[in-house]
Amino acid sequence: METLNRNLLHPQQRVGENMPRWLQAGGSEALRGAVKDTSALLPAIKEADLRGLGGSGFPVWRKWEAVAKEAASPDKYLVCNGNEDEPGTFKDRLLLEETPHQIIEGALLGALACGINRIVFYINPDLTRSLAALKSALGQWQDGELLKLASDALGKQIKMELVPGSSHYIGGEETAAMEWIEGQLSGKAKFPFPRGKPPYPAQCGIFGCPTLINNIETLAHVPAIMRNGAEWFRNLGIGHGAGTKLYSLSGDVLHPGVYELPMGTTLRDLIYVHGGGLLSGKPLKAVFTGGPSNTLLTPDDLDVNMDFESLRERGASLGTGAMIVVSEGTGMVKRVAEYARFFAHSSCGQCPPCKTGTATISRLLDRIDTGCGTAADMATLESLCRMLPGSGRCHLVNGVAQLLDSSFRHFRNEYEQALK
């Protein structure tokens, strides 16, 4: 399986917080190169077609460019988002545990490219092992030669901080993250309510300063791109896809786990080659892509390349790369009801349509699932699917509606069977 773990999870990279071993494996080379000429960073990332791997698939260079253009007032912030909390996603925790130095180097490169002097690592507090690994790794960088090199290149002291998250799912949303970090840095705790956009974080983020926010996985790719060149990175991918992607495979498969595969690997390869196939040899029923706030994939999608574009063409989305596989014999209504309950519970409650909409969806789904639903409940759910999208500040409510809508499309009969 020469396609597996070629970059982020390459065995040489998985040294944990052991800095000397990481240096031996080529760590810090990219940073040492970049301090000589920071202007080469942005074009390289653009050339590599690196995307935001936290779920958006937004080209990284556009965010970087926007922040780079802004003047520091007085600071610029980089938030390394590791608040992963959604069902079925478990890639960031592995990266943090096994390759923390790679992430820190990536963050510093991002900071140099955009002229950022304050870096915040924002991690889900429930991931205690990841937190510990990153903390120990950061300790080895503080006051070290590498950080000084980077600060000198920037012309300002770079400050790196670790801010544990709020352990709310919504805290992973980028503006909510900024809200929480502001609270933690100023000592006056704030609930992570998402903010309205615009203004975008690039213009007005933490304390009004220009702020770049990237997922842990995105930043971890940067050092290798700088080391091996953009073309090398692009060629790692398949079809439209560039580079590699961490897929979190879970559910009814023989070997669940995190697989680093070329961006654009097919679902069939992921499930049947790497995941060892379905449990007890059952047929595939559907895949919730993650975290399960996206359109469902069905056996028809087995041969679609799993990159952002190809999936978008099918009306689906890659999300964080979480693939929750369900086999025949799984009740879809119950699953969707469970995820809806998760999102209803996670809604921060500031936008009324989201607060009441997700709660209503969850309640109606529970009703249908327990055999007490009526045709009127179904009709209500369907109209909610049309009404709710776009009615909240963040994407939470859209995700629920999308999941529900696509489960209606593919498994309508299961809902109808469960009605009274």
Partner 1 sequence: MKRGLSLQAALAAYRPDTELAPLPELNDPDTLLNEHHPDHLRGSMTKLTIGPNAGADCQRELADLLQAEAFIDEADLAGAQVTDTDVLVIGGGGAGCAAALAAAESGARVLLATKLRLGDSNTVMAEGGIQAAIEPDDSAQQHMQDTLRAGHHAGDPALVAAMVGDGPEVIRWLIHQGMQFDQTASGDLRTRRAGGMTAPRIVHCRDYTGLEMMRVLREAVKQHRGIEVWDQSPVVELLSNERGQKCVGAVLASLSDGSMRIVRTRSVILATGGLGRLHLNGFPTSNHIGATGDGLVLAYRMGAHLCDLDSFQYHPTGLVHPPHLSGKLVTEGVRAAGALLLNGQGQRFVDELQPRDIVCAAIIRECREGRGIHTDNGGVGVWLDTPRLECSQPGMLEQQFPKLLARTHHVGIDPRREPILVYPTLHYQNGGIVIDVNGTTSVPGLYAAGEVAGGIHGRNRIMGNALLDIIGFGRRAGRAAALAEHDRGPKKITLEHVNRARRALTLAGLPLTQRAPQILPAYTAVGKDIWKP
- What is the torsional sign of CA 282, 283, 289, 295? negative
CA atoms of 279 and 98, how far apart (whole Å): 28
The beta strand positions in 311-407, using DSSP E, are: 322-327
Write the binding mask 245 to 264 for partner 1: x where contact by CB under 8 A, - elsewhere: ------xx-xxx--------
- Which residues in the 144-173 window bind partner 1 by CB under 8 A? 167
The verdict on 413 binding partner 1 (CB under 8 A) reads: no
Pick between residue 166 and residue 218 the one whose CB is nearest to partner 1. 166
The contacts of residue 54 (CB under 8 Å, 6+ apart) are 81, 172, 214, 215, 217, 218, 320
Which of 353, 345, 358 lies closest to 404, judged by CA?
358
CA atoms of 380 and 348, how far apart (whole Å): 23
Q: How far is the CB of 341 from partner 1 (least distance, A)?
A: 5
Residue from 135, 268, 341, 395 binding partner 1 (CB under 8 A): 341
The verdict on 110 binding partner 1 (CB under 8 A) reads: no
The verdict on 330 binding partner 1 (CB under 8 A) reads: yes
The verdict on 418 binding partner 1 (CB under 8 A) reads: yes
The verdict on 411 binding partner 1 (CB under 8 A) reads: no
Pick between residue 284 and residue 344 the one whose CB is nearest to partner 1. 344
Q: Kind of pairing, strands 284-289 and 257-262?
A: unpaired
The verdict on 333 binding partner 1 (CB under 8 A) reads: yes
Q: How far is the CB of 103 from partner 1 (least distance, A)?
A: 24
CA atoms of 301 and 305, how far apart (whole Å): 9
The verdict on 342 binding partner 1 (CB under 8 A) reads: yes
Helix axis angle for 216-228 and 100-114, nearest 10°, is 80
* Contact region with partner 1 (CB under 8 A), list: 152-160, 185-193, 229-237, 369-377: 369-377
CA atoms of 318 and 325, how far apart (whole Å): 14
The verdict on 280 binding partner 1 (CB under 8 A) reads: yes
Q: How far is the CB of 176 from partner 1 (least distance, A)?
A: 17
The verdict on 355 binding partner 1 (CB under 8 A) reads: no
Residue from 329, 374, 375, 412 binding partner 1 (CB under 8 A): 329
Which of 168, 77, 166 lies closest to 114, judged by CA?
77
Q: Is 77 helix (H, G, I), strand (E, B) or coil?
A: strand
- Joined tokens for residue 254: 């023989």
CA atoms of 246 and 255, how far apart (whole Å): 15
The verdict on 125 binding partner 1 (CB under 8 A) reads: no
* Contact region with partner 1 (CB under 8 A), list: 68-76, 189-197, 332-340, 353-361: 332-340
Pick between residue 39 and residue 167 the one whose CB is nearest to partner 1. 167
The verdict on 334 binding partner 1 (CB under 8 A) reads: yes
Residue type, 345: H
The verdict on 412 binding partner 1 (CB under 8 A) reads: no
Q: Kind of pairing, strands 244-251 and 257-262?
A: antiparallel
Q: Kind of pairing, strands 118-123 and 77-82?
A: parallel
Which stretches of the chain bind partner 1, using CB under 8 A? 87, 167, 251-252, 254-256, 279-280, 326, 328-331, 333-335, 338, 341-342, 344-345, 366, 369-371, 414, 418
